[in-house]
Chain A
Amino acid sequence: DQQVKQNSPSLSVQEGRISILNCDYTNSMFDYFLWYKKYPAEGPTFLISISSIKDKNEDGRFTVFLNKSAKHLSLHIVPSQPGDSAVYFCAASSQGGSEKLVFGKGTKLTVNP
């Protein structure tokens, strides 16, 4: 039972354009959401997070949007750079869930020069 879903296994964009990665969740108890970036043979690296009391969080070129009613979040990268090419994982946790992260399957982003 996938509680966090990333329905696009891959995404390809041109350098300088916007990358939009999507994530859906089913568990209404989730109240903290994170995006991680992962390069091959490395561990996931924390990128940005958002609490359920917010609907937007921005950090430089990265913005995460949360739509609680739709149980949907997205990561926007503007402008996209070739170094952004990686697998992006969406993750969620709930208060009282002992900070257990539930991950999506990941979306492989390729930014073409």
Chain B
Amino acid sequence: DTAVSQTPKYLVTQMGNDKSIKCEQNLGHDTMYWYKQDSKKFLKIMFSYNNKELIINETVPNRFSPKSPDKAHLNLHINSLELGDSAVYFCAAGRGDHQPQHFGDGTRLSIL
């Protein structure tokens, strides 16, 4: 039973489209995160939510909008996709208080 699951695993789409990535965790953790791994392989935080409240919002274009309908879900919606958005997006869940975060398997987004 996967602890953090993301869908879809692969997403290929055209520039200018709007797309969403879904994330669900069954760990019961209060905090969820979105990270982006770019072509240089750096994993960087984008957002975090704690109990449906936005906690971290790094310097991310406002075309990216996270939505947390409940504690177990954190979705990522991206408007007007650009070539530079091509990356692997990872969702994670954690308890905070200096405890490990647990990651999903990633969504590879490719913009044509």
Asked whether B105 lies within 8 Å of A42 as measured between CB atoms, the reply is yes
Distance from A4 Cβ to chain B, minimum over Cβ atoms (Å): 10
- 10 A–B pairs (Cβ distance < 8 Å), ordered by A: A32-B98, A42-B106, A43-B103, A98-B55, A99-B96, A100-B48, A100-B58, A102-B45, A103-B43, A105-B41
| Chain B 87-112 residues near chain A, CB threshold 8 A | 90, 92, 94, 96-98, 100-106
Asked whether A100 lies within 8 Å of B98 as measured between CB atoms, the reply is no
Asked whether A46 lies within 8 Å of B106 as measured between CB atoms, the reply is no
- The docked-state distance in angstroms from the alpha carbon of A103 to that of B44 is 7
- The docked-state distance in angstroms from the alpha carbon of A9 to that of B106 is 22
Residues of the A chain whose Cβ atoms lie less than 8 Å from the Cβ of B48: 98-100
Which of the four size classes fits the interface of chain B? 20 to 34
Residues of A within 8 A of B (CB): 31-32, 34, 36, 41-46, 49, 51, 89, 91, 93, 95, 98-103, 105-106
